[in-house]
Amino acid sequence: MQNEHQFEESVETADETPDAGRRQFFRKALLAAGSVTAAGTLAAKAVRAAESAAKTSAAPLPAPQSYADGSKLERMRVELLQALQKPVAQRKWVMVIDQQKCVGCSSCTVSCNAENNLPPGVVYRPVPKEQVGTFPNVAWRFTPRPCMHCDNPPCVPVCPVTATWKREDGIVVIDYDICIGCRNCLASCPYNARTADFGDFFGRGTPEVMDYETRPNFEYSKKWVRKPGSHASPIGNARKCTFCLHRIRVGVLPACVTTCLGGATYFGDYNDKHSLVHELIGATRVQRLKEELGTEPSVFYLV
Amino acid sequence: MSRTQKTIVFIIWLALAVWGTIGFFQRMTQGHLLANYGSYVPWGLWVAAKVYFVGLAVGASLLAWVICAFNIQTLRPLVRISLLVSAVTMISGLLVISFDLGHMWRLYEVFTRPNFSSLLAIATWLSMAYLIYVLIGLGISLKSGHTEGTGRLFGWIGIFFALAFSGANGAEFATLISNPYWHSALGPILSIGGALLSGVALVLAAGALFLPASADDGRVFRILSRTVIGLILFVLLLEWSQYSVAMWYSRGEAYVLLSAVLFGKYWYVFWIFHVLLGSVVPLILLLSNPAQRLAAGLGGALVALTYMAVRLNHVIPGQIAPSMKGLQEAYTDKWLKFSYFPSANEWAVFAFSVAVCIALFWLGRRLLPAGSFRASGK
């Protein structure tokens, strides 16, 4: 239990002292940026975003209405910063995905993979495509599927070592340093939203594993390095979407939200009754996946 | 055991040991890279093997507990061999599941920071406790002059312990609400029934091989053969109930998955290994010659060995259906498939655990006092 508390504490510290969190983030982002060449643009983007967030949170926040006629992305970012001013327990992070707007480009999958430096076998946000109707009346239905961050998550009680739990703000997390890799949570997830890191590399079997595969990722605001031949976490662990918790902490929206080509993915604090996500969830076309299981997902679909 | 039998067993063991050792080193040096399970079929051969071994362990010991609790004198010679079989299969089960873990060296965390809402944690704790209980039982059975009362009490506690443990093992799968294939109230009962069948059948085979000939042979093997016949029919009845209820109207997710078991790509696992070699042939052997050592032993061995097919059919098909349409094509690589067949390395590691099991059994027989399998409890 000690480790769990330490981990939670570090998480909460980062949430409640934005400066320390930002410093840590800058340090990590700079470390990443230092070793980056081609994909370095992502890290640079993150640094820029964090800098922007730092300025915004330091200055008086503009009212959300200022952005009502402009970018929804900007509105969500401001609402995110406002939510961060509140104690963790008073936030409730949710995601809304508009299937009418999703064009199935999979840019969310790609950005998620890049943000978290995901290896083979691990995917946090695939976009299942389903063809509906018959010729000539045919259409594609796209259902991006991140972790549902359920309010009654089936994956949490099955963990034999309490390595996974639901935070007060609704995000279901995994402590990589505790997880034993039994994959019971994978078997229990009704959405196949958890995957396992088997230690594979895209370059395995080729003359060289490329540099981009061994760069660190910063999930849970910690530095995780995967090396071929190593068995250190996150290799051997269950892994899943974290709603980009490490970005949220520094006032940056999840990667899949900022890169969504069709503007179909929304993110925010459901406890804020004036937030965009709260407005969207109040629509008649809202659905959640497999509601009959009683898992109470935090991801809502506009169908 | 005759000299020829010994040679055959040794050759089989040597082959398993050599093959298994290669697999063991591959697993220790390359981790999971050579495995065929993945993120969508996260549990493969090793999980099925763990369920299989633990089932054997529970079934074999349950026989011993029943003999002790009801003081069945005719079957007394079977107590020690049953408990030895139980101990070695339990150790093999724990061994093979440790290879399946992403971080096998963190297994201790199940004991240092357990989550007792998790049936996996409960089952792991019960595994260790049960192994200790079986070893104590084995020790008591070796002590000459222990009172009959102690044995009976130990047997009764053992029966309840075994039922709880086996039930928890079944519930480990049956409680996963998201999986219509596993989520069944019959799960824990099938687990107990399957454990009893496979464990008693293995004791029958071991008894046929290792029990010294005696005047009581006929009675011992007749009773065991009839027990196994009854258990085969009981398990088939449970399976009929499970399959027919889920499949009768040809609708629903469980119907699709059970259809795959019966008529899919791996149909032969059910029909050839389980039904034919694991049920029909043993029934013929045991019904025709229940008291004959060779027929009874062969029947028991067939049931025990082929029960692995039932465990595979329990673990794997529950994972082959995508949770949502299109997921199987949404993002693909070696680890993101909804189909599964064990890799050569997985079979080799399984062979390793079987070889360890046989070696421990041999060692147990060597270390236990001479004659301990002859006049048990006296």
pLDDT in tens, B208-232: 988 888 877 889 999 999 999 999 9
Q: How far apart are the first and last CA of chain A?
A: 42
Q: Which residues of A touch B33 (CB under 8 A)?
A: 198-200, 204
Determine, for residues A128 and B326 on separate chains, whether the beta-carbon distance falls below 8 Å: yes
- pLDDT of A265 > 80? The answer is yes
Interface residue B329 vs chain A (CB under 8 A): yes
Average pLDDT, chain A: 83
Beta-carbon count within 10 A of A34 CB: 9
Interface residue B233 vs chain A (CB under 8 A): no
DSSP summary character for residue A196? E
Mean pLDDT of A271-289: 95
Rounded Cα–Cα distance for residues A81 and A272 (Å): 12
Split at pLDDT 50, 70, 90, the class of A51 is very low
Residue A174 parent element (H or E): strand A172-174
Mean pLDDT of A156-183: 97
Task: List the A286-287 sheet strands across, edge first.
Answer: A265-269, A93-98, A299-302, A286-287
DSSP A45-59: HHHHHHHHHHHHHHS
Looking at residue A11, its pLDDT comes to: 42
Put simply, the chain A residues between 230 and 259 with a CB less than 8 A from any chain B CB are 231, 233, 235-238
Looking at residue A19, its pLDDT comes to: 41
Determine, for residues A198 and B326 on separate chains, whether the beta-carbon distance falls below 8 Å: no
Looking at residue A63, its pLDDT comes to: 54
Looking at residue A278, its pLDDT comes to: 97
Interface residue A192 vs chain B (CB under 8 A): yes
- From residue B255, alpha-carbon distances to A58, B175, B326, B347 in Å are 59, 19, 20, 29
Looking at residue A31, its pLDDT comes to: 43
Looking at residue B188, its pLDDT comes to: 95
Rounded Cα–Cα distance for residues A236 and A214 (Å): 16
* pTM of the complete model beyond 0.90: no
- Interface size, chain A vs chain B, as Cβ–Cβ contacts under 8 Å: 162
Determine, for residues B121 and A161 on separate chains, whether the beta-carbon distance falls below 8 Å: yes
Looking at residue A141, its pLDDT comes to: 95
Looking at residue A258, its pLDDT comes to: 95
- The residue ranges of chain B whose pLDDT is under 70 are 144-149, 369-378
What domains are there in chain A, each with its CATH number?
A: 2-302 (3.30.70.20)
Are β-strands A164-166 and A172-174 bridged in parallel, bridged antiparallel, or unpaired?
antiparallel
Looking at residue A67, its pLDDT comes to: 58
Which long-range contacts (C-beta less than 8 Å, at least 24 apart) are formed by B366-371? B368/B80, B368/B84, B368/B142, B369/B142
Looking at residue A58, its pLDDT comes to: 46
| Phi/psi of residue A109, nearest 5 degrees | -60, -45
Side-chain half-sphere exposure of B376, counting CA atoms within 13 A: 27
Determine, for residues B113 and A129 on separate chains, whether the beta-carbon distance falls below 8 Å: no
Q: Could you read off the pLDDT of A3-47 as tens digits, one per residue?
A: 443 444 344 433 433 344 444 444 444 444 344 333 333 433 443
Distance from CA of B239 to the nearest CA of A (A): 23
Instruction: Tell me the one-letter amino acid at B89.
Output: T
Interface residue B132 vs chain A (CB under 8 A): no
Looking at residue A133, its pLDDT comes to: 95
Interface residue B367 vs chain A (CB under 8 A): no
Nearest to A121 among B327, B329, B336 (CB): B336
Neighbour-count burial of A151, counting CB atoms closer than 10 A to its CB (0-12 exposed, 13-18 middle, 19+ buried)? middle
Rounded Cα–Cα distance for residues A199 and A114 (Å): 17
What domains are there in chain B, each with its CATH number?
A: 3-367 (1.20.1630.10)
Neighbour-count burial of A189, counting CB atoms closer than 10 A to its CB (0-12 exposed, 13-18 middle, 19+ buried)? buried
Closest CA to A123 of B328, B35, B177: B328
Instruction: Tell me the one-letter amino acid at B96.
Output: V
Rounded Cα–Cα distance for residues A273 and B316 (Å): 45
Mean pLDDT of A177-194: 97
- From residue A270, alpha-carbon distances to A109, A246, A253 in Å are 24, 19, 15
Give Cβ neighbours of residue A220 (< 8 Å, ≥ 6 apart): A7, A11, A173, A176, A242, A245, A246
Give Cβ neighbours of residue B309 (< 8 Å, ≥ 6 apart): B269, B270, B273, B274, B278
